[in-house]
Amino acid sequence: MKPGETAVISGFTDEPLSVKLLEMGFLPGTVVRFNFSAPFGDPVCVNVSGFDVSLRLEEANTISILD
């Protein structure tokens, strides 16, 4: 995703990590907006449910999205 783009969460590829993400508000069907990434690309900042959240790129890559 590029800064400002939005997508809908469809699921997760890492079941143990999905519990943490679900608790943080990354629910399937929720719209997520990519805000920006750090200078070297990790971590990334996204907005979900009205909150800005920073995720390691490894964590963000486990979120499946619909364009």
Please count the CA atoms within 13 angstroms of the CA of 53 that sit on its side-chain side: 19
pLDDT at position 67 is 72
What does pLDDT average to in each consecutive run of 10 residues of the chain (67 residues)? 95 95 96 96 95 96 92
**pTM (2 decimals)?**
0.86
Q: Tell how far CA 6 is from the center of its chain.
A: 10
Pairwise CA distance, residues 26 & 32, whole Å: 8
